[in-house]
DNA sequence: ACGGACTCCTGGATGC
DNA sequence: TGCATCCAGGAGTCCG
């Protein structure tokens, strides 16, 4: 399931394959993939055909490729992608067989010749859109050129962004009674974390998912941020986490960080620290995995 | 205003 | 064996 490391793997793959590529033709096979696009399919195709793609950017789990006019002029618009839980962006040879859940196909002509950039999505929570680029609400005066798609403006910076504000995040924790995991998953508070990496970071920090955020000490908050960054960097180095082939890189290959997971999906298996069997608990219509000994509610 | 519940969707796994 | 139900999840929306 694509969280920050998986989306970053895809971004890097796209950077190599599509930067400076020109879009020759766009075929919308399933219009439901355009649910975040402000216009219809015709408008989507029209906004892309003939334009070139600039180097891809990412914030949290959102990915976008700025568009250039045929004369090379920058356009304040971008092709925006969100993979949802099963979306894939694939670079394929022209005319390769259609994937079963192919939603959008784009023929692109780049430095490496002609390819197809395809958006494939089994569970259809993902989307492509053409969206305007605007200055971020948290713009840094030292970097006035930064631009974000409008639909990404409400998303916080992610913890690998050098301009992520640790201090502001700690203040946010002090100001809410929500459980710590709910805050980690709130993309307006900190971006890029989903259910898997939330559980991994909490396990590493020995925090219970329901621990009220305001009771997390400054020291623990710093440990938690460090754990989130560590787990992201490690997962990135291992190509991301793949379950049942739903997440793959642009060449269709799985990552292997699943082998390194210590908490997520491991109910009944012994905790790698203390040996107690991990438990699975319902949380916000999904699951949380934790060690009942290492990760207890504190200060109640 | 805040936070929790609900919604979109598909197919693999599970249960009777 | 076959049908029904459950479950997974990001982020927008809705409601108390």
Model confidence at A45: pLDDT above 80 = yes
Q: Would strands A74-82 and A52-53 be described as parallel, antiparallel, or unpaired?
A: unpaired
Task: Compute φ and ψ for A47, nearest 5 degrees.
Answer: -70, -20
Scan residues 127-156 of chain A and list those with Cβ within 7 Å of strand C. Answer: 151, 154-155
Strands, E assignment, chain A = 22-28, 52-53, 57-59, 62-68, 74-82, 87-92, 102-110, 113-121, 127-134, 148-149, 279-283, 286-290
Contacts of A123 (CB under 8 A, 6+ apart): A84, A85, A86, A246
> What confidence tens digit (pLDDT) does each residue in A246-276 have?
666 877 777 878 778 999 999 999 999 999 9
A168 CA from C3 C1′ (Å)? 53
**Res A249: pLDDT:** 80
Which residue ranges have CB below 7 A from strand B? Answer: A 32, 100-101, 122-125, 176-179, 182, 244, 284-285
Q: Which of A153, A139, A138, A24 is nearest to A80 (CA)?
A: A153
A69 CA from C8 C1′ (Å)? 41
A199: which nucleotide lies closest, measuring CA to C1'?
C9
Instruction: Determine the average pLDDT of the residues in A129-136.
Output: 94
Q: Give A187's pLDDT tier (boundaries 50, 70, 90).
A: very high
Q: What is the mean pLDDT of chain A?
A: 92
Bases of chain C within 7 A of a CB of the protein: 7-12
A122: which nucleotide lies closest, measuring CA to C1'?
B10
Comparison of pLDDT for A227 and A243, the residue scoring more = A227
A189 CA from C2 C1′ (Å)? 47
**Res A75: pLDDT:** 77
8 Å CB contact between A246 and A83: no
Bases of chain B within 7 A of a CB of the protein: 2-12
Model confidence at A102: pLDDT above 90 = yes
Instruction: Determine the average pLDDT of the residues in A150-161.
Output: 94
**Res A140: pLDDT:** 87
Contacts of A201 (CB under 8 A, 6+ apart): A184, A193, A224, A227, A228, A231
Q: Give A284's pLDDT tier (boundaries 50, 70, 90).
A: confident
**Res A20: pLDDT:** 87
**Res A160: pLDDT:** 95
> What confidence tens digit (pLDDT) does each residue in A190-236 have?
999 999 999 999 999 999 999 999 999 999 999 999 999 999 999 99
pTM for the model stands at: 0.95
Catalytic annotation, residues of A: 2-3, 61, 286
A85: which nucleotide lies closest, measuring CA to C1'?
C9
Mean pLDDT lowest for which of A88-92, A93-97, A196-200, A258-262? Answer: A258-262
Scan residues 161-220 of chain A and list those with Cβ within 7 Å of strand C. Answer: 185, 187, 194-196
């Amino acid at each position: 399931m694509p969280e920050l490391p998986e989306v970053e793997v895809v971004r890097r793959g796209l950077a190599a394959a599509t930067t400076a590529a020109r879009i020759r033709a766009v075929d919308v096979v399933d219009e439901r993939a355009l649910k975040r696009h402000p216009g219809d399919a015709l408008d989507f195709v029209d906004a892309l055909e003939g334009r070139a793609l600039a180097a891809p950017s990412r914030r949290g789990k959102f990915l976008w490729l700025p568009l250039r006019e045929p004369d090379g002029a920058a356009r304040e618009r971008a092709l925006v992608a969100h993979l949802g839980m099963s979306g894939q962006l694939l670079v394929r040879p022209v005319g390769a067989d259609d994937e079963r859940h192919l939603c959008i196909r784009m023929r692109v002509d780049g430095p490496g010749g002609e390819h197809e950039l395809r958006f494939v999505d089994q569970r259809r929570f993902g989307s492509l859109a053409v969206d305007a680029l605007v200055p971020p609400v948290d713009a840094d005066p030292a970097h006035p050129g930064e631009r974000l798609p409008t639909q990404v403006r409400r998303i916080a910076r992610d913890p690998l962004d050098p301009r992520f504000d640790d201090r502001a995040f700690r203040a946010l924790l002090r100001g809410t009674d929500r459980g710590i995991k709910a805050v980690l998953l709130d993309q307006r508070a900190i971006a890029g974390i989903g259910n898997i990496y939330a559980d991994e970071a909490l396990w590493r920090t020995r925090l219970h998912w329901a621990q009220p955020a305001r009771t997390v000490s400054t020291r623990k908050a710093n440990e938690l941020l460090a754990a989130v960054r560590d787990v992201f960097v490690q997962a990135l180095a291992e190509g991301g986490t793949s379950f049942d082939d739903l997440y793959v890189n642009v060449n269709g290959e799985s990552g292997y960080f699943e082998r390194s997971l210590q908490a997520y999906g491991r109910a009944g298996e012994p905790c790698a620290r203390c040996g107690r069997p991990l438990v699975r608990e319902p949380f916000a219509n999904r699951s949380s995995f934790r060690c009942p000994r290492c990760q207890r509610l504190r200060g109640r």
